[in-house]
Amino acid sequence: MFVIGLTGGIAAGKSTVAGYLRERGATVIDADLLGHRVYEPATPGFDSVVRAFGEDIVAKDGTIDRRALGGKVFGKPEEMQRLTDIVWPLIRGLAARQIEQIGAGSEDPVIVLEAAVLLEARWEDLVDEIWVVVVDRDVAIERLGSRDGMSRDDALARIRSQLSNRERLERCDRAIDNSGTPEDLRSRLELEWERLHQRRLAEPN
């Protein structure tokens, strides 16, 4: 099997890229969905997060109120670190098990681990290649405004809270520039998909 680690900043277009790779036959593991599983009631993640941040983050329906939790960690690096120290290892464990299961159940699969925090969490060892989706900052700001109704200042704050494009590019194997049109992106992905299969064919058995 071959595992691509797909990452990038906010509004870069990771999900669009993952969708294209899924169309071409790849199996996509969405780390965001795994993250939701970590917070589910009656799980070790739920219990650990509630112990760390208090019963007041539990909503009336018994689930974690993500907004209440966010209020305790956003803009507070030490608290955010405390949260990620709990949830990132659990998400990693779920991703590793899914990769193993897919590899055991399929012949020669291509797996895509889509994870915004792939580099921050240092999950590089789970994948064979890292593909980073990047966009110009102004493009990301415009997309956040039209997609999420986010102000320019809020968009800038979100972008600056993440790794920069330069930091991501220094740690990736393939860079996917998504600053242009959807057609430009598809052409680039078609080329990268073909190159991937050429590299795999060239590998010794």
Q: Is 108 inside any structural domain? A: yes
Q: Is 162 inside any structural domain? A: yes
C-alpha 83: how far from chain center: 17
**What percentage of the chain reaches a pLDDT higher than 90?**
73
d(Cα 137, Cα 178) in Å, to the nearest integer? 11
72-83 CB burial, b ≥16 within 10 A, e <16 = bbeeeeeeeeeb
**108 — pLDDT class (breaks 50, 70, 90):** confident
- Residues 196 and 190 sit within 8 Å (Cβ to Cβ): no
Q: Is 113 inside any structural domain? A: yes
Q: Is 203 inside any structural domain? A: no
Q: How many domains does the chain have?
A: 1
Q: Is 19 inside any structural domain? A: yes
pTM listed for this prediction: 0.91
- Residues 114 and 30 sit within 8 Å (Cβ to Cβ): yes
Q: What is the pLDDT of residue 205?
A: 58
User: Domain limits at 175?
Assistant: 2-197
**55 — pLDDT class (breaks 50, 70, 90):** very high
Q: How many residues would you count in the chain?
A: 205
d(Cα 7, Cα 126) in Å, to the nearest integer? 13
Question: Hey, which bits of the chain come out as E strands?
Answer: 2-8, 27-30, 110-114, 129-134, 174-177
d(Cα 40, Cα 46) in Å, to the nearest integer? 6
C-alpha 36: how far from chain center: 13
Q: Is 205 inside any structural domain? A: no
When pLDDT is averaged across residues 27-55 and rounded to a whole number, the result is 96
Q: What is the pLDDT of residue 116?
A: 94
When pLDDT is averaged across residues 69-81 and rounded to a whole number, the result is 91
When pLDDT is averaged across residues 56-63 and rounded to a whole number, the result is 95
Strand 27-30: give its sheet, edge to edge. 27-30, 110-114, 2-8, 129-134, 174-177
Q: What is the pLDDT of residue 204?
A: 67
CATH at 94? 3.40.50.300
Left (φ > 0), alpha (ψ -120 to 50) or beta: where does 195 sit? alpha
Q: Is 53 inside any structural domain? A: yes
When pLDDT is averaged across residues 93-119 and rounded to a whole number, the result is 94
